[in-house]
A and B are shown apart, each in its own frame.
Chain A
Amino acid sequence: MSTIGERQSYISGIGQSQVGRRTGLSEMTLTVQAALAAIDDAGLGIDEIDGVSTYPGGGRGTAVGGFGGPGAPEVIDALGLSVDWYQGSVEGAAQLQAVANACMAIASGLCRHVLVYRTVTEGTAQGTGGRQVMGRVTERISGPAKYLFPYGSVSATCWLAPLAQYHMHHFGLTREKLAQVALNGRRNAARNPQAILREPLELDDYLSARMISSPLCLFDCDLPCDGSTAFVISHVDTAPDARHVPIHINALGTSARGRPSWDQWEDLATFPGRSPAAQMWNRTELKVGDVDTAQLYDGFSMITVLWLEALGFCGTGEAGDFLGDGSRIALDGELPLNTSGGQLSAGRLHGLGFVHESVVQLRGDGGERQIPRQPEVAAVANGAGSTVGCLLLTRGIR
């Protein structure tokens, strides 16, 4: 275990911008809000930030759909930072690659306090016509999408729905069980003042919602929004001076063993998240039973199901029964899940929102939504298909 380089890093500060369906704010305004909050939360001066890491990097702002926010060089310039290392990239362990890259930069000695951020303005872009999944496409489709888009399989909904269908056919997953991901998220969102959708959502509402791609309905799909999430990831040597209890990065899962693809993963019962999940457990003494809360990507509810199984919270095909009536994943259940409301209800902060929420819970700062039994270990997973990653966080340095 001596080569677990990510343990050179911990999360020293977190920040979140104003979050809303359509804030009308620019991607840089949101990013600066979150970044300054995170740096302040860490108790650091702006001039102590010597690294910047983001997903997915620049060129994907509001004007072209709002998926990406400003790039690292823009943020460095806007904040007047002087950094020794920076990066933005869309490939790797999903959104968590921004965290993994920061850990690697710290372990290699390039820098000691990395600002990590993820900004979306998909809500505003959607409102202004910038976020169109598929207008009349005139350019030719290349890459793996060329085998999907020509068939109208142009949204990740279309790529996850067949996996839900497969689980229903072979393992007895039902819409009622799948609904628990969304219903649980909404109950938690009601306790989160930053969440966007907070009004009650009942099973009947879910079952009568319009289909998007069967068997996935509207409430199985996350909510595009505007917002920015930021952290400071710091070298563990600085932990004794940390303002808050340090949140240690215990283990990363970043691998691609098996085909990193949306439609060519060999086993339709599982998905490429299997690979980083196995790697993560090989990099830690912790066991699945040690996890006190799971913050699992819910861009679509089915992704949460697949991660529950991939991470070993239950066996393949068993997530439906694991979700059951929702009591197991509730705030006071044995595995509190997506306690902020997740992307389904709190808003599609896209991956790093789950890291933010893990830190909130591990610090014990969840307020109304705090897990009653103080969690010590959180599991975070992001992504699906060709982009998957996961990590373990602990309360305090281990």
Chain B
Amino acid sequence: MVGRHRVGEVLPYRPVPFLDPVDEFFWTGGADGRLRILRCRDCANFIHPAAPVCRRCHGTAVSPEVVSGRGRVATFTVNHQPWIPGSDPYVIALVELNEQKGLFLTTNLVDIDGDDVTIGLEVEVVFEHAGEVWYPLFRPAGTAGAGTAGAAVGTGAGESIA
């Protein structure tokens, strides 16, 4: 067994992102258990990392949208080197969200052994709360209740908060 952790136990601590007016929604939106991604209101393109303009149509009417929180593991690594002092091996994944091809989030996987992770694995978002940030992590889809007590679990799909 390598790299298996529960929410809140992946790393001894997480380097904290600077929240700015453009991306604060992404880092704090998980408070209600829902993942939000910026979306262009002109061409419907999802934009990540958040930017004040759509890279596809160059429209500036962009706003956060609740997404399903579901995706698949596009690729991953089991990281062994303790770059962060005191860390045990952990899984870093590139999750492609179901909403759009190429909509990638770098994240950690929880509730799964590193040896069991495969490219294509279906996953769902689960949030880890620390300070003012709700970090979107992912776990195998359909494993609610498997060791994520206290975690905010992604629900709902397609609700616009624009």
Interface positions of A (Cβ within 8 A of B): 133-137, 140-142, 144, 146-155, 157-158, 161-163, 165-166, 169-170, 210-216, 259, 263-264, 266, 268
Contacts and interface: CB of A to CB of B under 8 A. Distances in A.
Given A142-B18, A147-B106, A158-B92, A135 B119 contact: no
Interface stretch (B74-82, B141-149, B152-160): B74-82
Contacts of A170: 119
User: Sorted from nearest, which 6 A-B pairs have the closest CB atoms?
Assistant: A140-B18, A161-B77, A146-B17, A162-B75, A149-B15, A166-B75
Nearest to A154: B83
B114 interface: yes
| Interface size classification for chain B | 35 or more
Given A147-B105, A212-B80, A214-B79, 6 more contacts: A136-B13, A142-B18, A152-B84, A152-B87, A264-B104, A266-B102
B49 interface: yes
Given A144-B49, A165-B119, A266-B102, A150 B77 contact: no
A165 B119 CA distance: 9
Contacts of A263: 94, 104, 106
B78 A140 contact: no
Nearest to B115: A214
A161 B90 CA distance: 13
A166 B75 CA distance: 6
Given A140-B17, A146-B18, A214-B78, A153 B119 contact: no
Interface in B83-123: 83-85, 87, 90, 92-94, 102, 104-108, 114, 118-119
Q: Residue among B76, B118, B133 with the most chain A CB within 10 A?
A: B76
A149 B13 CA distance: 11
B10 interface: yes
B6 to A, nearest CB: 15
Interface of B: 10-11, 13-20, 23, 48-49, 55, 74-81, 83-85, 87, 90, 92-94, 102, 104-108, 114, 118-119, 133, 135
A266 B96 CA distance: 11
A250 B101 CA distance: 38
B76 A165 contact: yes
Contacts of B80: 210-214
Contacts of A169: 75, 118-119
Max chain B Cβ within 10 angstroms of own Cβ: one of A140, A154, A162, A266: A162
A150 B94 contact: no
B17 A150 contact: yes
A162 B92 contact: yes
B11 A152 contact: yes
A153 B106 CA distance: 8
Given A151-B108, A263-B94, A263-B104, A163 B75 contact: yes
17 contacts: A135-B85, A148-B106, A149-B17, A150-B135, A151-B108, A152-B10, A152-B87, A152-B92, A157-B81, A158-B79, A162-B75, A162-B77, A163-B75, A166-B74, A212-B81, A213-B92, A214-B77
Nearest to B74: A268
Nearest to B49: A147
